[in-house]
């Protein structure tokens, strides 16, 4: 008789009586990654049939025919071992039997290291997250993502952070990924950096009066925070302070007029200039 799981034959025992060869051990076993184990394959009938197997074993696990109608699966699953390992056992000794067997290697979750992720504003990006573990771990994300980026658990031990970081989202975003299954959990924290070229956010004109103190500050968005420099002639009594990007002072008498200067904002993502007009009355 033959089935998808097992095939049995007959061996002739003492006094010519036919005996059925069969596997008597369970058709599967579950073991834990990194832990030693031993499983005995047993048969009945046919005396001491030779036992062989086909199918790939986990790293660190071996199969041994004991020569007495039994065999042993043993070792410590290591390396990338995890999941299901379908095997087939064969018993040959005057008769024949076959058994389908599944070795399951359970593994607590682990996450591949993720370094700092750069996601320039306005540019499409994708970052893969990779986890080990069996049963397949669920992946979750905590921490605010830049506007325009989203997290997706693919349900297969991987996840993606993908999208296009929105304009104005420049900055740093600390996030944590957690992988969890029934054996435990693991977390990986990293930072998403959104570089963004400078954009002026302050007005391009200002007014001042001779003899009256005033102060006007230039501003620009971007990440890293841009430095703002100035070029062009200013009225006597007025100066530009680069450290604070501020025009400050008291226009001297006789300096009424229009003064055109150029402001330049620079960071590692780019440079932008703005024509700025100071009207002194």
DSSP 11-25: EE-GGG-EEE-EE-S
**Token duo for residue 100:** 């389908």
Q: What is the mean pLDDT of the chain?
A: 93
Calculate mean pLDDT across residues 60-89. Answer: 97
197-280: CATH homologous superfamily? Immunoglobulins (2.60.40.10)
With contact defined as beta carbons under 8 Å apart, do 252 and 237 qualify?
yes
First to last CA, the chain: 108
Tell me what pLDDT residue 281 has. 95
Residue 242: pLDDT band by 50, 70, 90 thresholds? very high
3-state secondary structure of 280: strand
Tell me what pLDDT residue 20 has. 84
Tell me what pLDDT residue 47 has. 82
Tell me what pLDDT residue 116 has. 97
Tell me what pLDDT residue 12 has. 46
Instruction: Please give the CATH architecture assigned to the domain spanning 6-106.
Output: Sandwich (2.60)
**CA contacts within 13 A on the Cβ side of 162:** 9
More confident residue, 7 or 219: 219
Looking at the predicted structure, is the pLDDT value of residue 81 above 70? yes
Looking at the predicted structure, is the pLDDT value of residue 2 above 90? no
Q: What percent of the chain has pLDDT over 90?
A: 91
More confident residue, 191 or 7: 191
Strands 117-118 and 96-111: unpaired
Looking at the predicted structure, is the pLDDT value of residue 237 above 60? yes
Residue that has been written with the tokens 């990779």 in this structure: 130
Residues ≥6 apart with Cβ < 8 Å to 83: 104, 105, 134
DSSP 121-150: TTSEEEEEEEEEEESPPEEEEESPPPTTEE
- The C-alpha atoms of residue 191 and residue 273 are separated, in whole angstroms, by 30
- The C-alpha atoms of residue 175 and residue 190 are separated, in whole angstroms, by 6
> Taking CA 159 as the corner, what is the angle to CA 158 and CA 160, rounded to the nearest 5 degrees?
135
Instruction: Please give the CATH architecture assigned to the domain spanning 112-194.
Output: Sandwich (2.60)
- Preceding peptide of 83 cis, ω within 30°: no
**Token duo for residue 63:** 């199969």
Tell me what pLDDT residue 135 has. 98
The pLDDT tens digits of the residues spanning 93-115 come to 878 999 999 999 999 999 999 99
Tell me what pLDDT residue 13 has. 46
Calculate mean pLDDT across residues 19-38. Answer: 95
Enumerate the CATH 2.60.40.10 domain ranges in the chain, comma separated: 6-106, 112-194, 197-280
Looking at the predicted structure, is the pLDDT value of residue 267 above 90? yes
With contact defined as beta carbons under 8 Å apart, do 168 and 221 qualify?
yes
């Amino acid at each position: 008789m033959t089935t998808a799981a097992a095939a049995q034959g007959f061996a002739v025992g003492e006094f010519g009586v036919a005996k059925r060869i069969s596997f008597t051990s369970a058709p599967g076993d579950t073991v834990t990654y990194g832990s030693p184990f031993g499983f005995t394959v047993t048969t009945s009938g046919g005396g001491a049939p030779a036992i062989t197997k086909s199918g790939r074993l986990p790293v660190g696990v071996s199969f041994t025919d004991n020569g007495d109608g039994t065999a042993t699966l043993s070792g410590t699953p290591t390396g990338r071992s995890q999941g299901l390992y379908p095997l087939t056992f064969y018993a040959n000794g005057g008769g024949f039997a076959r058994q389908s067997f599944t070795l399951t290697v359970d593994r607590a979750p682990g996450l591949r290291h993720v370094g700092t992720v750069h996601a320039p504003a306005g540019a499409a990006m994708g970052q893969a997250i990779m986890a080990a573990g069996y049963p397949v771990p669920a992946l979750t994300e905590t921490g605010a993502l830049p506007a325009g980026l989203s997290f997706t658990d693919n349900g297969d031990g991987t996840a993606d952070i993908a999208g296009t970081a929105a304009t104005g989202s420049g900055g740093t975003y600390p996030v944590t990924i957690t992988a969890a299954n029934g054996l435990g959990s693991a977390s990986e924290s990293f930072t998403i950096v959104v570089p963004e070229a400078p954009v002026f956010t302050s007005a391009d004109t200002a007014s001042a009066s001779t003899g009256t103190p005033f102060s006007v500050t230039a501003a620009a968005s971007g990440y890293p925070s841009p430095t703002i420099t100035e070029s062009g002639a200013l009225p006597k009594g007025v100066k530009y302070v680069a450290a604070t990007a501020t025009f400050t002072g008291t226009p001297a008498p006789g300096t009424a007029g229009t003064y055109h200067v150029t402001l330049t904002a620079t960071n590692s993502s780019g440079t932008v200039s703005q024509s700025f007009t100071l009207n002194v009355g």
